A and B are shown apart, each in its own frame.
Chain A
């Protein structure tokens, strides 16, 4: 077990063995940190495209299954080679830079969107001892680097000089910055309880119980997850890419590999949001059964992946089933629902902290916190729900009295 747990750490040691044997000891000691960093970075740079390839395949299969279809199944077993075929095709595809565009911004935008999408993996704790950089202000890093996406989308939309791209990028900008606020506030409660901005510390703070089990963690998770979905333009918040009105959104004018990079960044973003939701609220790589059983069932990195993919599946589930919100409803949801809820989360967390530990905290905390959340929800949605129901006479299925006629 220990060996599997430490598999990747050992792989890294093995990779370091070669320079250790070749280089003089003094030199090696000086550059060991650097070398191990390079190996870590290479691991991430292998992991990122592999994840993206797998996710594209998974999305197509999952959505196909939800629509009673098979999905890709001609290349490889279960169509597993489909993403590779797509990749090769995009690689060999002509790259068009229309005459009207600003060529520099147009070419830079796909790179600018991909770089932060990769860099965000640096502070992701994949497992025990498996984090590239344990940054003390990791959360600020995540917030700042994920908002670079806005700039890239604006670059892409504006430089394309195309009405659809422009509208879509402006929408995207409005959407991403609006959801950044509830996203930021939803993490305040986590910080209050963990007392640190390091992702590693936040995971370790959940050894006593996942944050999602507490009222503030539960609310925080919902806000974080939904805002995150909006940040990376997943359904039902995929307004910037709304095919039914804006052709292909901000990447209408992109072809070939540049479009491929946008595609990649989108999937990496979705993965990152799922992974950080896990890290902040579902105990990251912690084994939920370890405190009970006293030993680990699965290695930590596998737990991390399992939990993350459950949330990734939820994203695909949304995609397969939900209609899209309209842009004003979307912004209303951010400013007039999620933000007040996120602000409410801070007193709930404070209350939780000041309650005496033990069963009382769980009962009283959930009772008071739950009723506060419910009350706030009622307050914020009362107007809308009253508007929605009634006034329509819903047609009902006529009562069938006759049975199947015998003549057949």
Chain B
């Protein structure tokens, strides 16, 4: 019986299929559908809207090699009003969700959504974080999902074709947008103590009424005591091994010896400070423990000595104290001439407070705000201490060790719960509301203001309302030229910028918190996603920091390969930056597409060695993951010796003396050498001001001391100078590459395969010269767990942004985007 019915149904289907195939027009509906669907499918205009790494691949899709224009979809519209398709390309953070939903609401029907990549589909690698939502489809309907992290341009094209096929099947009577009933408005989530879905407010109120407290997980992450001051004259008595000891005693002794921290190394700079200030002690981790009251004096002393560059400022949550860490180095002398100094200031855990360095180093501004945001340490004397990466009103300080994330499962990955008893469960299923979200007692979800703006910024317009004609204009987070989800709030007098506030954190994806849960080696793929244009430099810096801490040596060949990759990456990143600078100038993609064509060539090489275009995950502790394949050399040599020099020179010839570009960029966004150092700027921004500070020369890390290259500098410190510096650096990189490939030795590529390693207790700060500037990694190990105790990234883009207002004041709106383009920021690195 059932079989018969099945046959019957099949026959019906078959008939329908036949009719569809051979009778093209059956009714007026059919005509309308054909026309309507054909029009819609062939003219899908995406919104110009990129969130994170996937956006880079989305832009590549428009480039010559992939050319989305073939499908008529190259008209990326900046305004949602004219767009048909929203490509959610990248990690969706809680802070960004309200914006995305609002933009989606503002798009006219018919509208489609493509969820591009793992992050927007399901949270991706950042899924369990405190600031990331796991999947955009909880908030807006998605038509097509594309897998990959990030999906290649081909994958996006295939997603587009998938969408076209979906449109083909639609019948206009059945579509959502021709039905009067039903409200299509998607509720906009609110930014409260956490992300609040308005659909769930009843539930929250109930929880509040019943006073449901968050469950505390059984296992809290372990604390570590702060590095003790080293006491040089009373060494801990350790008995010598004697022959009559038992095996157990011998083992115990060996363990004890191993546990004993090595004596700290005191360099000459530290000695100067120690001689002058007797209250200062050296910790077992070779840093100077400075009493809070002395901090300003010590810093001024360092400045006088020539340690005039505040490289890094961060904090660590120890068992007994919070510690604020400062790394000082010299912008003018090499490490040999003037060794760097690490200062730490300890403060108690109940009311943590440290004097602010902003009066001396304006560059400390953002970094102190970040420490306040993440760790809750107050900086006395900071002019506007407020949250920077999370929104104002967010509850809790995420980087404290006792902060429990909403989906917190265990102190370290891999989570045991995922496969318990062979049963796969999602964290969200067990934990719909995020049981660790703490709602403050007085918080009333009904009476809750929209909180896109920090309260202080909301009154920005009222600051100097002497002149009524001042206009408040907001740029971003969805804006065609803020390089992702950056936001600037400006006060304009006519078109002149009077004040400018950079607002960031729309791509804050808890990099550092995840880094503390990951095992050491698991952090490599995450570093790729910091500055997603320069994965190799990111890998390199992280490897250096951990190698420094663990004392791992790197074989010769691996060092050369690392340098080759880092320099290739510098060229590819600068090409992108130069192209985009011209885009900001309004050159309608042409220079950018030419530059990205060369970049594709370099990406091919990366794909050859690591298997991935932009997320290479290539380096390992003590070497690199794979050796160069045999087929690598030919395209490499062609590229480095012939093609790239020619093409870069071509870009130089056409762009450098373009009169409009010169007119617009010269004298714009000027930063003097003193200012650039004071703002802790690095990379081309610093070098364009005439400071020859390049970590490759200054530290000579890896094997950079073997190569003959110049540090490219310019004197004027404006946008044009930055452009010229980047241009010169590409030439220098080519020169390094030529030297490196000639000297490339044979041999091992990795010291020893290290999958899950233990790193001895201690702290280390290592930096590399990434294309954007000084990229530093600060790691602390407790010597016990398989994961870092503290993992901090000193990102050049983030700190360079500190000088943005300084550079833009007095210029025009149109210039702001150009200045921003010349900083060449990448939001993944700014917000981490």
Q: Which residues of A contact B (CB under 8 A)?
A: 60, 63-64, 66-75, 79, 81-82, 84-89, 91-96, 163-164, 167, 171, 235-236, 238-239, 242-248, 251-256, 259, 319-329, 384, 387-388, 391-398, 400, 402-405, 407-408
- Contact of A245 with B816 in the complex, beta carbons under 8 Å: yes
- Contact of A248 with B645 in the complex, beta carbons under 8 Å: no
**Is there a chain A Cβ closer than 8 Å to B425's Cβ?**
no
In the complex, which residue of chain B has the Cβ closest to the Cβ of A96?
Answer: B108
- Contact of A403 with B660 in the complex, beta carbons under 8 Å: no
- Contact of B64 with A388 in the complex, beta carbons under 8 Å: no
**Is there a chain A Cβ closer than 8 Å to B40's Cβ?**
yes
**Is there a chain A Cβ closer than 8 Å to B594's Cβ?**
yes
The answer to whether A248 and B70 touch (CB under 8 A), given A392-B721, A408-B633, is no
In the complex, which residue of chain A has the Cβ closest to the Cβ of B472?
Answer: A163
The answer to whether A323 and B586 touch (CB under 8 A), given A67-B594, A89-B84, A395-B731, is yes
In-complex Cβ contact of B42 among A75, A163, A235, A253 (8 A): A75
- Contact of B43 with A405 in the complex, beta carbons under 8 Å: no
**Most-contacted residue by chain B among A69, A96, A163, A323 (CB, 10 A):** A323
What's the Cα separation between A56 and B532 when bound, in Å? 35
- Contact of A69 with B593 in the complex, beta carbons under 8 Å: yes
Contacts of A163 in B (CB 8 A): 471-474
Smallest CB-CB A-B distances: 8 pairs: A324-B586, A88-B39, A395-B728, A94-B108, A85-B42, A408-B633, A323-B585, A248-B79
Contacts of A79 in B (CB 8 A): 70, 72
What's the Cα separation between A254 and B79 when bound, in Å? 9
Residues B629-681 near A (CB distance < 8 A): 633-634, 636-638, 641-642, 645, 648-649, 652, 656, 658-664, 666
**Is there a chain A Cβ closer than 8 Å to B589's Cβ?**
yes
- Contact of A247 with B78 in the complex, beta carbons under 8 Å: yes
In-complex Cβ contact of B480 among A81, A235, A243 (8 A): A243
Contacts of A60 in B (CB 8 A): 69, 74-75
**Most-contacted residue by chain B among A247, A394, A395, A398 (CB, 10 A):** A395
Contacts of A256 in B (CB 8 A): 108
- Contact of B724 with A395 in the complex, beta carbons under 8 Å: yes
- Contact of A403 with B641 in the complex, beta carbons under 8 Å: yes
What's the Cα separation between A317 and B197 when bound, in Å? 50
- Contact of A242 with B814 in the complex, beta carbons under 8 Å: yes
**Most-contacted residue by chain A among B106, B663, B664, B714 (CB, 10 A):** B663
Contacts of A384 in B (CB 8 A): 663
**Is there a chain A Cβ closer than 8 Å to B394's Cβ?**
no
Q: What are 10 sample pairs from A and B whose C-beta atoms fall under 8 A apart?
A: A67-B64, A88-B38, A92-B110, A163-B472, A243-B48, A255-B108, A393-B724, A395-B727, A398-B734, A405-B742
Contacts of B74 in A (CB 8 A): 60, 64, 71-72
In-complex Cβ contact of A252 among B79, B589, B724 (8 A): B79
The answer to whether A325 and B660 touch (CB under 8 A), given A96-B81, A255-B82, A397-B648, is yes
Contacts of A393 in B (CB 8 A): 714-715, 724
Contacts of B661 in A (CB 8 A): 323
Residues B232-285 near A (CB distance < 8 A): none
- Contact of B69 with A69 in the complex, beta carbons under 8 Å: yes
In-complex Cβ contact of A402 among B77, B589, B742 (8 A): B742
- Contact of B645 with A400 in the complex, beta carbons under 8 Å: yes
The answer to whether A407 and B633 touch (CB under 8 A), given A74-B42, A167-B495, A323-B586, is yes
The answer to whether A404 and B724 touch (CB under 8 A), given A92-B36, A245-B816, is no
B contacts with A: majority SS = helix
- Contact of B81 with A255 in the complex, beta carbons under 8 Å: yes
What's the Cα separation between A251 and B82 when bound, in Å? 9
In-complex Cβ contact of A68 among B38, B42, B597 (8 A): B597
What's the Cα separation between A70 and B82 when bound, in Å? 24
- Contact of B42 with A243 in the complex, beta carbons under 8 Å: no
Contacts of B666 in A (CB 8 A): 387-388, 392
- Contact of A93 with B108 in the complex, beta carbons under 8 Å: yes
- Contact of B588 with A327 in the complex, beta carbons under 8 Å: no
Contacts of A251 in B (CB 8 A): 79, 82
Contacts of A325 in B (CB 8 A): 660, 663-664
Residues B550-568 near A (CB distance < 8 A): none
Contacts of B35 in A (CB 8 A): 88
- Contact of A322 with B587 in the complex, beta carbons under 8 Å: yes
What 1/0 flags go to B706-725 for Cβ under 8 Å of A? 00000010111000110011
Give B44 Cβ to nearest chain A Cβ, in Å: 8
The answer to whether A245 and B813 touch (CB under 8 A), given A73-B70, A405-B741, is yes
**Is there a chain A Cβ closer than 8 Å to B501's Cβ?**
no
**Is there a chain A Cβ closer than 8 Å to B604's Cβ?**
no
Give B157 Cβ to nearest chain A Cβ, in Å: 11
What's the Cα separation between A319 and B586 when bound, in Å? 9
In-complex Cβ contact of A167 among B75, B108, B728, B813 (8 A): B813
- Contact of B658 with A323 in the complex, beta carbons under 8 Å: yes
What's the Cα separation between A60 and B77 when bound, in Å? 14
**Most-contacted residue by chain A among B69, B474, B589 (CB, 10 A):** B69
- Contact of A329 with B81 in the complex, beta carbons under 8 Å: no
- Contact of B590 with A404 in the complex, beta carbons under 8 Å: no
- Contact of A397 with B649 in the complex, beta carbons under 8 Å: yes
In-complex Cβ contact of A248 among B77, B588, B656, B727 (8 A): B77
**Is there a chain A Cβ closer than 8 Å to B582's Cβ?**
yes
What's the Cα separation between A321 and B495 when bound, in Å? 26
- Contact of B43 with A89 in the complex, beta carbons under 8 Å: yes
**Is there a chain A Cβ closer than 8 Å to B738's Cβ?**
yes
Contacts of B492 in A (CB 8 A): 167
Give A44 Cβ to nearest chain B Cβ, in Å: 26
- Contact of B738 with A67 in the complex, beta carbons under 8 Å: no
Residues B809-825 near A (CB distance < 8 A): 812-817
**Is there a chain A Cβ closer than 8 Å to B481's Cβ?**
yes
In-complex Cβ contact of A395 among B48, B475, B712, B816 (8 A): B712
What's the Cα separation between A295 and B69 when bound, in Å? 44
Taking A70-B70, A321-B587, A327-B814 as given, write out 14 further A-B residue pairs in contact, using a Cβ cutoff of 8 Å, ordered by the A residue number: A69-B67, A74-B70, A89-B84, A96-B108, A163-B474, A244-B586, A322-B587, A323-B586, A324-B586, A327-B495, A392-B714, A395-B725, A403-B641, A407-B633
In the complex, which residue of chain B has the Cβ closest to the Cβ of A171?
Answer: B495
- Contact of A324 with B585 in the complex, beta carbons under 8 Å: yes
- Contact of A235 with B812 in the complex, beta carbons under 8 Å: no
**Is there a chain A Cβ closer than 8 Å to B479's Cβ?**
yes
- Contact of B588 with A319 in the complex, beta carbons under 8 Å: yes
The answer to whether A81 and B814 touch (CB under 8 A), given A72-B70, A403-B641, is no
In-complex Cβ contact of B69 among A72, A244, A387, A391 (8 A): A72
Residues B475-507 near A (CB distance < 8 A): 475, 479-481, 492, 495
What's the Cα separation between A238 and B586 when bound, in Å? 9
**Is there a chain A Cβ closer than 8 Å to B177's Cβ?**
yes
What's the Cα separation between A82 and B70 when bound, in Å? 10
Give A388 Cβ to nearest chain B Cβ, in Å: 5
